[in-house]
Structure formats: C-alpha cells, structure tokens
Amino acid sequence: MPELPEVENVGRHLIRKIRGYRFEKIRINRLDVLKSARTTPANREARLGVGGRLDTFHRHGKRLALEFDDGRVIEFSLGMSGHLIVEAIGSEETRDHAHLIWTVRHPRNGRTRRLIWRDPRRFGGVWAWVDMKTMIDQKWGSIGDDALQVKYESFRDVIKGTRRSIKTALLDQNLIAGIGNIYADEALHRAGIRPRRMASRLRRSETKSLHKAVQEILIEAIEAGGSTIQSFKDPEGGSGRYQSAHAVYGRSGESCHSCGAVIRSMVLNGRTTAWCSECQK
C-alpha cells in the first residue's frame, strides 16, 4: 500500500512531467472511481480539470491533490493500488484498469500526453473540488497533521492524548496523517521504542526521538523513491529503493542490523508488526 513517501513521489513526478499542460479531454471508463462529480454529468468534465492547466500538487498524509491554474482541484486517494501514469500518445499499449484517461497538451510546443488513473483493487478514489479552500474545509482539515510537517509540540500532544499502543496511534490518520505500517515499524525501531508501549506513557525523550525518527525516515524514503511493496510501483513503473533500507519491516526472523538479535513479529490491532526486542524497550 502506498504511504506518504510514495504519494509524495507520485506528485513530484506528475509536476516534472506535465506541469503547465492543458487538460483537453477525459475518457471515463469506470464511473464508480469518481467519489464526487458522479451524479452531475453536465459539468463532470469541467469538474475533472478539463480546460485547465496543471499548476501544482499538494499532499496531506497519503492524499494527493492536483491544482489547476484556475483554482480547480482533483484529489486522489491511492488506496491499495491506485496509480497515476503519464505516457506518450501513440504508444499503442493498452492498459488494464485504465479507469480515467486525460489527454493533456503542452500549450506552446503542442506535445501531447496521457494521464491515466488506474486502480485495479479500487480501494482508492477521485474527488473533484472547486478549490483548495473547499477541500481543506470539508476534508483535509479534519484529518491529522501531515507526518512530515507536524511540529514536535503537536506530535507530543496527540501522542500524550491516546491510551492505545504507540504503533496503533501512529497508524491513526486522524491523529497524524501519512504513517502506514512500514514507516511506523521503522520509526519505532530507530527511536528504540517497543510497538506495544502505551502512547500516553512514553517519556519526553522518547516522544522527541520518535518525532525525529518519523520525519527522518519519511525523508529518506522519499529520496529513495519510496518502497516497492506488493502492487505499488513508482509512476514510471519502476521500483522504489527504500525497501532495501528497511531495518525491521519485512525482516521477521532475520537478524537486526544494529544488534544482531532476531527480528520478531506479532499482530498488533490487526497489523503485522516487526520489532527488535534488544533495540526497542
């Protein structure tokens, strides 16, 4: 499942490839991937960016939004398997599960490309918004602070305020947005904290280390192009490199790079959790 670093890389990739391109038309192959704009066929195309030029992207936790020069916004939740792919027109390759296909054109040099939304497992979705303010008021404002942006004081306050395990708290998108199973396990290992510890009982020094570890690990993962796991690949169909840097995630039964002990795993609140009993107290 794509997490914050993978989503950040999708956004950066789209901007590199098609910033300034005009969205000329859209083909909708599956209506139910649209979570808004579905019931208003009259202006559906306009709501999905047609006529606008891609200006920038925004990300909050694992959510991604493309903003157009006229303020319109299309929001994507990648879910388990959502992909945004840019490809050249004329590549005759037909893709399975190409649910939405925009044709986009550079306004000066005329270069034309396709932007494709595909989501084979359809846990993700696409929303149309009139502008960023509306989206933030109605949606992004009610989820937790973004894990990469959250200041220590806010991080400490939400951690202090929950009596669940720290691992479960890190995964709660309403507390802090953008941390999934991989990076929660990795951050807890780096901070030396057992996943089962009660969040509200962490010492100040531990909360500080954890805040630092979360942001370091997310930045490292973004720079490495994210982790390639299960169905997720980067926007060019390649692999991220961060999975080879994992200290605990996916390494149950192997030895800890820091201390040599065997990495253990358990199921905590329904999620497989890997940790080192020597490094994490």
Range 203-222, binding Zn ion (CB under 5 A): none
d(CA 175, CA 10): 24
d(CA 281, CA 278): 7
- Indicate the residue among 14 and 276 with the shorter CB distance to Zn ion: 276
d(CA 119, CA 231): 10
For residues 278 and 259, the answer to whether their CB atoms sit within 8 Å is: yes
The order of strands in the sheet holding 83-88 is 22-28, 98-105, 112-118, 83-88
Site string for Zn ion, 56-95 (x = CB under 5 A): ----------------------------------------
Site string for Zn ion, 222-261 (x = CB under 5 A): ----------------------------------x-xx-x
d(CA 67, CA 135): 11
Q: Which of 59, 62, 72, 167 is catalytic?
A: 62
Under the binding rule (CB under 5 A), the answer on residue 276 touching Zn ion is: yes
Residue 62 annotated in active site: yes
Residue 271 annotated in active site: yes
- Indicate the residue among 45 and 278 with the shorter CB distance to Zn ion: 278
- Give the nearest residue (CB) to Zn ion: 256
Which region, judged by CB under 5 A, interacts with Zn ion, from 4-12, 19-27, 234-242, 273-281? 273-281
Rounded to 10°, the helix 204-223/181-191 angle is 130
d(CA 187, CA 275): 10
Chain residues that interact with Zn ion, rule: CB under 5 A: 256, 258-259, 261, 276, 278-279
Annotated active-site positions, please? 2-3, 62, 271
